[in-house]
């Protein structure tokens, strides 16, 4: 117990404990860094909404649940609608006989499975031929595909649950953590000012992005739906709500933005016009409305208005999106702006103070 003999030894021991605990927490979070950073994005994007609800609802858990309901339920409806359309297409393939070629190979094995003769089923599979066109090969491929899909679905469900847990506790206990931190640093003016500036700008940046996604999605869905009503014949856009939601999400992607959605869709329409009776003016009208109206209004009006609320130049934030995506992958879309905001305020306030103190030879800096 010599480490506790002096205050310095006591302090060093507790610092070592803190470093070990912090290392373990960072190590655990690093495996789910994308999920955690996405939760931070949603936290700042939904915090203004939660703040309004929390002012009117006395129970903290209920306020968080309502905020999540307002934000996440529309997203879940869009995802559910997309899955419904995919299920319809798969049902059409099955009813159309797309998998009928597998029936002669699968029928003997299905017959054994219905009888419950699983041992005989295993022996039949293991004794079948090894060629690529054999039933064994087809069953192996089918089994691998089912396993891959099941693993993907389980992974997505687990990450969604983890993201929801992160988001819930950040919204409910974020203010308590902030108060604890300020008390721990004895409300140091520089630390409080720095962290508050970072916190406020992160809320502005991410909430602006969330608002931009929502408004762009609504705008695109309305214009596509109106376009379908105004043009004669078949509708140009079969699913205006889903396409509008995808275009809204596309605004987050740096440089290309929503073009990553409507340009491929326009290409599909051009192919349909060249190979079917679809009129050529269908893709032309769609491309014109998307590029001139839907792609222009968010950039000229909405994005300009929202960016005026932040103290950080919009170009610097855009650079954070681009470099973050290139350096970290998909979650760099959220991590990049966080790094930019922290760097900006450090360079704007903390670095000049450190440099001045060092150059003036202040022994207490």
Selection from 178, 145, 161 nearest residue 47 by Cα: 178
Contacts of residue 335, defined as CB under 8 A and 6 or more positions apart, other chains included, come to 33, 37, 324, 328
- At residue 342, the pLDDT reads 92
* C-alpha–C-alpha distance, residues 215 and 213, integer Å: 6
* C-alpha–C-alpha distance, residues 145 and 139, integer Å: 10
Q: Which residue has the higher pLDDT, 362 or 82?
A: 82
Residue % of the chain over a pLDDT of 90? 6
- At residue 121, the pLDDT reads 63
Distances (CA, A) of 38 to 160, 216, 221, 285, 346: 10, 20, 25, 36, 23
- At residue 44, the pLDDT reads 92
Name, of 67-71, 143-147, 286-290, the range with top average pLDDT. Answer: 286-290
Is 60 exceeded by the pLDDT of residue 78?
yes
What tens digit of pLDDT does each residue of 124-152 get?
666 654 444 455 555 566 566 666 767 77
Supply 195's token pair. 């962290």
Selection from 289, 213, 292 nearest residue 257 by Cα: 213
Q: Which residue has the higher pLDDT, 8 or 296?
A: 296
What tens digit of pLDDT does each residue of 9-53 get?
778 888 889 899 999 988 888 888 888 998 999 999 899 988 888
* C-alpha–C-alpha distance, residues 39 and 194, integer Å: 22
- At residue 1, the pLDDT reads 45
């Amino acid at each position: 117990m010599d480490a506790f003999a002096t205050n310095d030894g006591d302090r060093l021991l507790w610092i070592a404990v803190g470093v070990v605990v912090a290392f373990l927490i960072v190590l655990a979070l690093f495996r789910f860094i994308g999920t955690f950073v996405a939760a931070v994005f949603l936290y700042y994007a939904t915090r203004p909404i939660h703040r309004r609800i929390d002012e009117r609802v006395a129970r903290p858990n209920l306020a968080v649940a309502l905020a999540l309901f307002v934000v996440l339920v529309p997203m879940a409806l869009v995802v559910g609608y997309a899955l419904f359309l995919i299920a319809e297409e798969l049902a059409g393939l099955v009813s159309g006989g797309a998998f009928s070629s597998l029936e002669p190979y699968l029928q003997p094995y299905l017959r054994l499975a219905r009888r419950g003769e699983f041992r005989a089923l295993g022996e039949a599979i293991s004794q079948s031929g090894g060629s690529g066109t054999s039933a064994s090969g087809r069953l192996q491929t089918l089994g691998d595909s089912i396993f891959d899909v099941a693993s993907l679905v389980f992974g997505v469900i687990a990450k969604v649950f983890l993201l929801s847990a992160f988001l819930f506790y950040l919204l409910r206990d974020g203010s308590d953590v902030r108060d604890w931190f300020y008390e721990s640093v004895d409300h140091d003016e520089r630390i409080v000012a720095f962290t508050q500036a970072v916190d406020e700008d992160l809320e502005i940046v991410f909430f602006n992005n969330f608002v931009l996604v929502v408004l762009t999605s609504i705008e695109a869905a309305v214009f596509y739906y109106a376009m379908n009503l105004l043009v004669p014949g078949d509708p140009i856009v079969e699913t205006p709500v889903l396409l509008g939601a995808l275009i809204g999400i596309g605004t987050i992607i740096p440089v290309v933005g929503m073009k990553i959605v409507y340009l491929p869709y326009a290409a599909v329409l051009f192919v349909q016009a060249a190979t079917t009776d679809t009129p050529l003016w269908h893709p032309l009208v769609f491309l014109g409305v998307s590029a001139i109206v839907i792609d222009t209004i968010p950039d000229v009006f909405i994005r300009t208005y929202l960016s005026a609320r932040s103290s950080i130049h919009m170009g610097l934030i855009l650079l954070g999106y681009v470099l973050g995506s290139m350096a970290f992958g998909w979650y760099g879309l959220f991590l990049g702006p966080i790094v930019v905001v922290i760097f900006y305020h450090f360079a704007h306030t903390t670095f000049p103070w450190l440099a001045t103190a060092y150059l003036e030879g202040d022994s207490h800096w």
